[in-house]
Amino acid sequence: MNYPYIVIDDNQESVLKTKAIADGFSELVFVASANNYTDGLNLILEHTPKIVFLEIDPADKTSNLSLQLINELYRYLKVVPKIIVTTTKKELAFDAIQFEVADYLIKPVQRVDLVKTLLKLKKAIGEDEVFLSQSPMLDASSKFVGEPQVIVSEQASVSKKEQPLVLCIKSYGDYRYIDARDICYFQADNNSTDIHLNNGEMITAFKTLKHFESVLPHPFSRIHNSYIVNRHYISRIHTGNAVCYIKNSTTKLPFSKSYKENVDLIISEFANGNYLEI
């Protein structure tokens, strides 16, 4: 079973770090992120995720992020998503408990903490399988390193393979289906967006780049006001010239200072994989 989630945090770097940890669990499916109360509320009502990672003590007070968002959700939803508070302050935990949040995590979110949270959520909703079927934190005897033993049934240990994401570009009864794995990058064009595929084809969608940024999951990252890139198609990153090179092409995409954190995260993800630096 998949668990769509939304991250609501005024700090974009924190959004990316939380998402990077969550993406390590095959059952967690990123839906969107928001940086303020209004956008966060609208995203939750539109997508009705099962889990929301929520910052309640924002550095940017104009974002209006707080536990009051939970009260607002009860006005509109019969079933409110599981709220996981992510913040830097321990002293707000008591207030969060009063709002019956699912868990309270101190930022930066650590994988082991999210493991515990997800196990508690699964237990609470009465499911037998666990989130950890492909987790590197499990050894051959199904034990956590430094944690109590977790018994994983044979059925639970085989997670369902997620179907690849398919984008449907719809226009006047014309449905165009695109396998997201074939998309190299998105390029803004006023109020539309050009989608560049690995076969050299370009398809125009009448949605803004900001819309795509809010709905696209990993491995897509915004690197510029005009570009979202699929990190799997990056062959080279030159930080001095502030450009990313696209595989099997002469295309170079610029990245801007405002999205440098996203590029740094991409570099970090490469280094955390099967990686050899020479």
Per-residue model confidence as pLDDT tens digits over 131-174: 443 333 433 333 333 333 333 333 433 344 457 889 998 877 78
Give 190's Cβ-side CA count (13 Å radius).
1
User: Within a domain: residue 258?
Assistant: yes
Same domain, 19 and 119: yes
Asked whether the beta carbons of 9 and 21 are under 8 A apart, the reply is no
Q: Shortest CA distance to 120 belongs to which of 82, 162, 88, 70?
A: 82
- What is the model's pTM? 0.49
- Amino acid found at 219: P
Give the model's confidence band at 239: pLDDT under 50 very low, under 70 low, under 90 confident, else very high.
very high
Question: Chain-wide mean pLDDT for the chain?
Answer: 84
User: Within a domain: residue 211?
Assistant: yes
Can you give the pLDDT at residue 19? 92
Owning domain of residue 47: 3-124
Instruction: Count H helices and E strands in the chain, helices first.
Output: 7, 15
Determine what percent of the chain is predicted with pLDDT higher than 90: 53
First to last CA, the chain: 41
What's the angle, vertex CA 172, arms to CA 171 and CA 175, rounded to 5?
Answer: 50
CATH number, domain of 54, equals 3.40.50.2300
What's the angle, vertex CA 125, arms to CA 124 and CA 126, rounded to 5?
Answer: 95
Same domain, 184 and 109: no
Determine what percent of the chain is predicted with pLDDT higher than 70: 86
* CB within 8 Å of 92: residues ≥ 6 apart: 56, 57, 85, 104
Is the pLDDT assigned to residue 81 strictly greater than 50? yes
Same domain, 113 and 202: no
Q: What is the bridge-based pairing of β-strands 3-8 and 28-34? A: parallel
Q: What is the bridge-based pairing of β-strands 166-171 and 174-179? A: antiparallel
Same domain, 171 and 103: no
Same domain, 105 and 27: yes
Same domain, 87 and 8: yes
Q: Shortest CA distance to 123 belongs to which of 156, 145, 97?
A: 156
Is the pLDDT assigned to residue 50 strictly greater than 80? yes
